[in-house]
Amino acid sequence: MNYRLVLLIIICTNFICQAMENQITNASFEFNKKAKALKHTLEVAFCGEHESKQPVSTVTFEFLPLEGIPDHPAYTSYLSDCIRYKAQGVVDLCPVNGSSKKRITKIFDNRCAREMEKELLYLHQQENVREFSSYPKLFVLDIKDKNKKYDDIDDIGETENNIAHFLQNPKEMRPMHQQIENGDIRYFIKEGSLKAMLIQRVLGKKQNEFFQGVPKGRMLLCQLCEFIMNGFKRGYQVIGYAEDKSYCFHPAIFFDFAQRLESLPTSKAQPRLSEQILKQPLCTLYSGTYEGVYNEDGEYTTALKSLWNVETNCDKPNKIIGIIQRPKEEL
C-alpha cells in the first residue's frame, strides 16, 4: 500500500470537510430581548452545513438613538413630518428596484406608477392599515451597480443622485411624478448604498459571497437592511460590529426627497428627537410575491416580535403584503 497516497487522501479529505464546515449556507437574526426600547442590538449568526455546531461567524448591530438632529435637509424634514403627525405612524411603500445600467425612465415607468397607485388605494381601502394613509410616506430605492451587484458603491451612489434629480426636477410630469405627488410620498431611502456599505465596511468575504451569491443569502440581506431601515425611520443610528472592523450607519445620508422641493411644506423649526418618535408604529408594504418571506411566521417577523407587536395582512387579489409594527405595552 502506498502510505504516502493514503496520507495525502486523508489530508485532502480533512481540508475539504473543513472548507465545507466554514462555508456559509444560512443566517439567522436575533434581537436582544433584554434590551430596553431605546437601545437594542441585533445579532446575525452565519451558519454552515452542520447547523448544530457553533456559527461560522457573527455580526452585531447596535441601535442607538441619535444624540442630535443632523443638519441634513431630507432627514430633518422627515423628522419634522413625524412630529407634525405626533409620531402616529410612517408608511413604507413597496420598493423600487433597478440597476445603474437601466435608464431611469425605465425604472420609473408606467408599470411602476400603476403599482404605486395600487398600494395607495390599498392604504385607503384596507381597514387594518387605513389609519396610516394620512401619515408620512416614503419608498425604498434598491439600486445595483452595472454588474447587478453591490460592489461598486460610487456607481450606485451616482445613479441614486441622478434619480433624486429626476424626481425633484422633472422636465415633464410623468405618471410616476404624478403618483408620488398625489400620494404625498415625500422621501425615499437609498437601500442600494446601504447594502454596498454593509458589504464593504462591515461584512467579511464569505459573508459577502453568501449575501450576494446565494439566492437565500440575497433575500436575507434584504431582511437585514429592513431591520436597519426600520431603525432609521425611528431616529436610530446603527453601528455594525464585525471581528476586525466597525462602521456607523447614520440615517441622514440614506434619505432624500422624492418630489419637487417647492411642492413640500417647509419648517424653520429644528425638530427634536423624542421617545415617541423612537417608538412610532411602522407600516411596510411588500409585493405579494414575497408571501413566503414576509409572513406571520417568517424569520423576519419572528425576530421583530421580540421587540414589537407585529400584525401581518396578505391581500392576495392585489398581491400586497402589509406588516405593521407597534410598540409593546412594556416598552
| pLDDT tens per residue, range 214-256 | 999 999 999 999 999 999 999 999 999 998 889 999 999 999 9
Residue 14 is predicted with a pLDDT of 45
**Higher model confidence: residue 267 or residue 45?**
45
**Overall average pLDDT of the 26-43 stretch:** 82
Residue 6 has pLDDT above 80, yes or no: no
DSSP string for 200-233: HHT--HHHHHHHHHSHHHHHHHHHHHHHHHHHHH
Residue 249 is predicted with a pLDDT of 97
Q: Where are the domains of the chain?
A: 72-221+254-327
- Across the chain, the runs of DSSP E, i.e. the strands, are 26-31, 40-47, 57-65, 90-99, 137-144, 185-190, 236-241, 246-249, 255-257, 282-287, 308-315, 320-327
Write down the pTM of the prediction. 0.90
